[in-house]
């Protein structure tokens, strides 16, 4: 009886020991947790400013400039006429407007004095060669028109009140501008109408002014 009891107690003890070991392993398995993978953070956002710098926007909401900003892009340079060129064109346009509206010989002569002084002074500071050339051509045309007007006022032709003068008195200016429209007076002499020639010369001056303005534009 005593031996059987001892054996029974031993069997129970072994069973309890195995149960405890299993329970411990079960507890151990339950308590061991796998490490969670680190969350994937969104990539920083970047933007390039107009001055070439790169702005970095971080996932936490903070922003900063990049350590090595992009080189600044070359800016577009808009060509503008110089102040002197603007002044020259303005003075030439004033004379053009006066000839289109109507002007007397005395007014024209007075205006030519001021125009020549202003254009000559302004062109000293103008760098654009083509603009200078066209402005000088316009000034020269206005000067030739004054010269022809003065010749007509002092013409030897007896009917000069009509605006006519002898062809020989205007031959050089007519050839310069390609004027070939002449007439024959009742006396048999060749004459030319100064008003028509002067208006043609003024048209030539206007064309030069417009070309000079085109050259001055960006």
What's the total number of domains in the chain? 2
Q: What are the tens digits of pLDDT across the range 132-171?
A: 999 999 999 999 999 999 999 999 888 877 889 999 999 9
Q: What are the tens digits of pLDDT across the range 72-99?
A: 555 545 556 688 889 999 999 999 999 9
Give the per-residue pLDDT at 59. Answer: 65
Residues 137 and 103 in one domain: yes
- Regarding predicted confidence, which is higher, 34 or 121? 121
Residues 57 and 133 in one domain: no
| Exposure string over 80-114, b if 16+ CB within 10 A, otherwise e | ebeebbebbbebbeebbeebeeeeeeeebeebbee
Is position 32 within any domain? no
Residues 64 and 95 in one domain: no
Residues 67 and 133 in one domain: no
The domain containing residue 54 runs over which residues?
Answer: 42-73
Give the whole-angstrom CA distance, residue 87 versus residue 82. Answer: 9
Residues 51 and 97 in one domain: no
Residues 51 and 99 in one domain: no
The three state secondary structure string of the chain is CHHHHHHHHHHHHHHHHHHHHHHHHHHHHHHCCCCCCCCCCCCCEEEECCCCCEEEECCCCCEEECCCCCCCCCCCCCCCCCHHHHHHHHHHHHHHHHHHHCCCHHHHHHHHHHHHHHHHHHHCCCCCHHHHHHHHHHHHHHHHHHHHHHHHHCCCCCCHHHCEEEHHHHHHHHHHCCCCCCEECCCCCEEEEHHHHHHHHHHHHHHHHHHHHHHHCC
CATH of the domain at 133: 1.20.120
Residues 118 and 96 in one domain: yes
Residues 123 and 201 in one domain: yes
Residues 150 and 50 in one domain: no
Q: Given phi > 0 = left and psi -120 to 50 = alpha, else beta, which region is 37?
A: beta
Is position 187 within any domain? no
Q: What are the tens digits of pLDDT across the range 97-116?
A: 999 999 999 999 999 999 99
**pTM for this one?**
0.63
- 73, 92, 116 — which closes off a domain? 73
- Section 56-67 average pLDDT: 64
Q: In the numeric block, which tokens belong to residue 106?
A: 């005395």
């Amino acid at each position: 009886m005593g031996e059987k009891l001892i054996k029974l107690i031993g069997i129970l003890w072994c069973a309890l020991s195995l149960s405890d070991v299993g329970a411990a392993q079960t507890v151990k398995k339950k308590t061991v947790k796998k490490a969670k993978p680190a969350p994937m953070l969104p990539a920083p956002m970047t933007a390039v400013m107009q001055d070439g710098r790169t702005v970095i926007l971080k996932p936490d909401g903070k922003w900063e400039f990049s350590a090595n900003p992009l080189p600044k892009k070359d800016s577009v340079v808009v060509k503008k006429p110089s102040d002197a060129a603007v002044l020259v064109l303005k003075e030439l346009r004033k004379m053009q407007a006066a000839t289109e509206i109507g002007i007397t010989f005395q007014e024209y002569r007075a205006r030519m004095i001021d125009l020549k002084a202003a254009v000559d002074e302004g062109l000293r500071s103008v760098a654009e060669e083509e603009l200078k050339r066209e402005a000088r051509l316009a000034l020269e045309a206005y000067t030739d028109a004054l010269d022809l007007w003065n010749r007509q006022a002092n013409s030897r032709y007896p009917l000069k009140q009509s605006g006519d003068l002898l062809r020989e008195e205007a031959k050089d200016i007519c050839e310069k501008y390609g004027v070939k429209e002449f007439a024959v007076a009742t006396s048999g002499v060749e004459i030319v109408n100064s008003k028509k020639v002067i208006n043609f010369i003024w048209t030539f001056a206007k064309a030069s002014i417009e070309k000079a303005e085109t050259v001055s534009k960006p």
